[in-house]
Amino acid sequence: MAILVTGGSGYVGLNVVEALAAAGREVVSFDITLPPPAAGAALSALPGTVRPVDGDVLDGGA
C-alpha cells in the first residue's frame, strides 16, 4: 500500500518522504512543485519507491 504525502517537496514533507522511503515504504509525494534535482536524485537512491506527482490539492482534476 502506498503512502500519500502532500507537500512532499517542502522541508517537512521531503524529510517525511525520505524517512518513509528509507524504511522501504512506497511513497507518493504530491506537491505543487517537484523536488529540487539534488533531492530527487537522493530519493531515487533510497530503498523504497518514491513517485513524485506535480499537482495542486485545490485542483479537483489533479
Render 17-61 in DSSP notation, one character per residue. HHHHHHTT-EEEEEESSPPPHHHHHHHHTSSSEEEEEE--TT-TT
Q: Does residue 59 belong to any structural domain of this protein?
A: no
Query: What is the residue range of 37's domain?
Result: 3-54
Q: Does residue 16 belong to any structural domain of this protein?
A: yes
Per-residue pLDDT at 36: 76
pLDDT in tens, 23-57: 989 999 998 887 777 777 777 777 778 888 888 88
Q: Which residues contact 3 (CB under 8 A, 6 or more apart)?
A: 20, 25, 26, 27, 28
Confidence of residue 62 (pLDDT cuts 50, 70, 90): low
Q: Does residue 38 belong to any structural domain of this protein?
A: yes
Q: What is the number of domains present in the chain?
A: 1
Q: Does residue 62 belong to any structural domain of this protein?
A: no
Q: Does residue 61 belong to any structural domain of this protein?
A: no
Q: Does residue 60 belong to any structural domain of this protein?
A: no
Q: Does residue 7 belong to any structural domain of this protein?
A: yes
